[in-house]
Amino acid sequence: MCLQKKSTMKKTLLFVLIAISTLANANPIGKQEAMKLAMRFLKQKQSTTSTRTTSQRNQLKMVMQCPKAYYVFNNGNGQGFVITSADDRTDAVLGYAYTGKFDVNNIPVQLKDLLSLYEHEIKTAVRLRLKNLKTTSGTRAGLSVKRSIHPLIETRWNQGAPYNDACPMGAFERTVTGCVATAMAQVMYYHQWPRGETLDTIPGYKSPKIGKVMDTLPKTTFDWKNMLRTYDENANREQKNAVAKLMKYCGVSTEMDYATAKQGGSGTVAVELPYALTHYFGYSKAARYADRSGYTSKTWNNMIYEELKEGRPVLYGGVTPTGGGHEFVCDGYESGDYFHINWGWSGLSDGYFRLSVLNPDQQGIGSFEGGYSLSQCAILGVKPNEGEEQLDAMTVIDLHLRGLSQMSRKRIEQGFKSLSMSYEVFNYMLLPFEGQMGVGLYKDGMLMKVVHESDVISYEPITPKRTFYKAILKNFGAGLKGDYQLLPMCKDKRSNTWQLCPGAEKSVCNLHITETQLNASIINPQTIDLKLVSIDMPKVIKTGRTYTAMAKIKNVGPDFTGSLSFVFGNKRSVLGLSIAPGATIEVPLSFQPDVAKPKTQYRINVWDSMQDRDIDFVGKGEVDVAEGKNVPDAKLTASVFCTNGSRKKADELYGTHMEGRFEVKNTATDDYDRDLLIAIVGEKQDVQMKQLNAIIPAGKTITLPFAFDDLIPGTRYIVTLLGYEGIYLKGKAICNGAITCKAAVMKYLSDGTSMALESEGSIDLTDAIAVDMHDLNVKQDTKLKPSNNPNCLYYLHEASTVPETLKGKNVILGDEAPKITLQTNQPIKMLRNFTAREITCQRPLVANGKDAGSAWTTVSLPFVPDAMKINGQPAELHVYNFVHEQENKLYFNTTQHIEAYCPYLLEIKHIHDATADMMLTIYGKDVEVNQQAKSVLGSDNYNFVGTIEQHQPASAYLYNAAINRFELSQTPTIECFSAFVVPNHNNDDNAVRSLAVVLDDVELGIPGHTMENASRYAIYNLQGVKVGEGKEGIARLPKGVYVVNGKKVIK
């Protein structure tokens, strides 16, 4: 076990939330419609999207489907994947990744069950009838914007060698680091803190699983400069020792219970992390443990986002329905509340997930089947110490009303006699809480007053003892009428400010007060009332096969979050689940019968994972199970073909990507219906595997295509088809073939495809938009025909010599480029990060007309610019940042800074001759240029997207400077380094034709709202003072906001 939960804490961790959402009147989504949704999503999301709609269709391939639940589409060759819903009650897209593939052959057993959880997000705010739980300052109503955050963590570390080189030995092999240590070490490397010596010695302890005493660790320093972002066989001993030492200190500081991978991995308690970070390693005392169960989905997601926005990766933990846990790092964000997860498995399964269901498709050391969606927790505020102090707070676990919940009074001026409540509270801090508990009266999300205060009290940290705060409100409610809420609050004795308790959103007492009556109510989350509406079983069920049944479950009780058990015959499977009140959802239930029997019974129950038993009946049924005939693997014959190999030699492959197929024939008289395994094994024992179910009719031949990425040039590989025996390569080989991977010139084209070219002879790169020769020793006399595209980037190894034909081109040697020149009207593709000593980017601007006086454009840059000029001359620029949207209006505020990978609206002011076309040139020196292809400022309804590469979404809103609005356009071609707006939904049929622009609270694009239309009227400033009239008055005025003809206008 990797992430442990102490048994003494079980009673306090009863309420676990998985984000779900259900809507009425559901309709199924077919495969073709699902593919369209995936195509549309990729066009909006992926930087590798083709510039042509037809080529995008050719890149998408459905690799998995679960009827009525979801579809999985791979995008091209290792360009990511999309999981789409098969039910329109859910979000259309359930998960995705920018790179790699969805590997159907290495999916954990219960993935199909857990993917169903994506269908729903918690609507706790609806259940609680609350608009907001924070005091507000009267800011403008609207939907705030979240910016996409590129993954902060660059390391791809794991738990085995060399990371565990300093971990203790087990009986026969070395123990692994443990997921908590690996996650912690990656975050510490990100901050590279402490810079000097650690703060204190770390006391020793006995590690129970291996029975060894861990020695006390002295103060030390860490060798950050010798740690690598990724480790392979080329790492030297000094580099290995540096990371191994860090891992050991992280493990011992959290009292890691060390064990080998075969024993389930090393484990510790995540709640220990804040103390270890602050006490031993000098991190901010504001670091704190937060339990997911105390927050609504929206609040929790916002908390995690705010951490990432401040540049703080989040240590994050979750537990599977069967109790296995894992600690990992949440380090990035994409619009739609997709968070990037670094799982701590050398990059395996890293990608974007909803926090409601964290389920990697492939798993590494110390992993468990079932995803990590239950008992989620996070360590917030992890950063180097800058003198902050964390004010302690009590977390509320449960709420009970005591005594009467309905009371009467004679008139509104009177108070009600007594309202009594009892809160169960818990101190997640590692020090005692000393302060007061209280009850706040809220109305429409606003704190009215604190209506009850306790004496100053002390609560011990992390104790198994149940602790209660009892509040009796006497003579309460005088003068009150309407709907109110009572929420638990607390105040650290070091502060004068009351704050909502963590968990307050789940412990709300709703009040309905009339002139004479008070009705108080809470919803008990422990009440369970789930019903089986129907279940769709396969028509034919045989032993030895894996099946999925679709069950409709209705929640006729309060909000449910927990686990279901599905018992088929003598086998039980468990899956996590959340269902909103009144909702009906479809749940896929996987089973594998092993006994042929008529009327085999099955049952669905609510499962208590704490007590390991069923606690509530949901439904049951019975089906017939027939005997399945197992055709032996020996009855299969096969041939293997590499479809993208060298034309000269059949056993050679250029590039790092391999495609091929097995032609498999079943020579038996019965159908073959079992799992097969396709594996590729390199000389250095690097292994990739793909497991798939093969149904081969008797006497027939089928084709099994395969593809593998990230092959190592110079390595000989064996590709094998095996019978799958449930574990790695234990099955009997049916067919195999050998191929050698050779270094190649990788040419990337504008349609999103790539080609591997042999490095001999004359190499034609005329149609390339990017060229990767990093694995080759390029020389000055290498014969290259350069690209016709002036934006083409040429990536060479740092030891290479620039060929004569590439002189003056955009060449990157290693990770440095002397000079880069780019044009926004030509396609570009960035493959790696690099430093540009000098970079310029040019964009033609179309004149707006003689009287315009200004030009408008959008911009998104891969670097922080030093200067911008128009036709070589300095210009007055106004930069606007997207801040929120409301009712089809996009609000922008003036900003003084341009950040890399952030979209902006740009105005060039005081253009003397606006009739001529202009050239905007953007300059940068000694700037970091990252391969991140796009950035998103996302709100609930619209995303403002900046793209570095040329892009062609299915539809987008483009800025029209003539009317100062974003207008809807179908399949537009977006230039490089530009920005556009897309709806954050998939309902194009109801899309509005244009979106208004509001700059600094003044709306543009409305007739009469520009100074050009003010020539006949008197002009007033915002204080009501007349400042001019007519054209002459306009000319004398400075830029600003004025009132003309009763309307606000901008100059």
Active site residues: 179, 326
Can you tell me the distance from the alpha carbon of 663 to that of 376, in angstroms, rounded to the nearest whole number?
A: 45
Q: How would you classify residue 118: left for phi > 0, otherwise alpha for psi between -120 and 50, otherwise beta?
A: alpha
Give, to the nearest 10 degrees, the angle between helix 179-191 and helix 237-253. 110
Cis peptide bond upstream of 194, omega within 30: yes
Contact yes or no for 183/328 (Cβ under 8 A)? yes
Number of neighbours of residue 823 by Cβ within 10 angstroms: 19
Can you tell me the distance from the alpha carbon of 524 to that of 558, in angstroms, rounded to the nearest whole number?
A: 7
Number of neighbours of residue 1038 by Cβ within 10 angstroms: 6
Contact yes or no for 517/417 (Cβ under 8 A)? no
* DSSP secondary structure letter of residue 202: B
DSSP string, 806-841: GTTSEEEETTEES-EEEETTS-----S-EEEEEEEE
* Lookup: tokens for 135: 């005091």
Closest CA to 296 of 306, 304, 288: 304
Q: By three-state DSSP, how is residue 1034 classified?
A: helix
Q: By three-state DSSP, how is residue 126 classified?
A: helix
* Lookup: tokens for 332: 């990035």
State how far Cα 964 lies from the chain centre.
Answer: 34
CA distances from 545 to 69, 693, 744, 973 (A): 20, 10, 43, 49
Closest CA to 176 of 265, 95, 247: 265
Closest CA to 349 of 333, 367, 337: 367
Closest CA to 818 of 842, 783, 789, 794: 794
Closest CA to 62 of 23, 14, 30, 99: 30
CA distances from 65 to 62, 116, 361, 737 (A): 8, 12, 14, 30
* DSSP secondary structure letter of residue 804: G
The label of the residue with tokens 């006994």 reads 595
* Lookup: tokens for 274: 């804040």
Q: Which helix (H) or strand (E) holds 923?
A: strand 918-929
Bridge partners, 338 (sequence order): 334
Closest CA to 284 of 409, 379, 422: 379
Strands 374-380 and 433-443: unpaired
Q: Which helix (H) or strand (E) holds 304?
A: helix 297-309
Can you tell me the distance from the alpha carbon of 1015 to that of 159, in angstroms, rounded to the nearest whole number?
A: 72
Q: Which helix (H) or strand (E) holds 180?
A: helix 179-191
Outline where 616-671 has alpha helix (H). none
Contact yes or no for 177/167 (Cβ under 8 A)? yes
Q: By three-state DSSP, how is residue 1013 classified?
A: helix
Can you tell me the distance from the alpha carbon of 314 to that of 269, in angstroms, rounded to the nearest whole number?
A: 16
Contact yes or no for 50/95 (Cβ under 8 A)? no
Q: How would you classify residue 682: left for phi > 0, otherwise alpha for psi between -120 and 50, otherwise beta?
A: beta
Bridge partners, 419 (sequence order): 473
Q: By three-state DSSP, how is residue 252 classified?
A: helix
Can you tell me the distance from the alpha carbon of 206 to that of 80, in angstroms, rounded to the nearest whole number?
A: 44
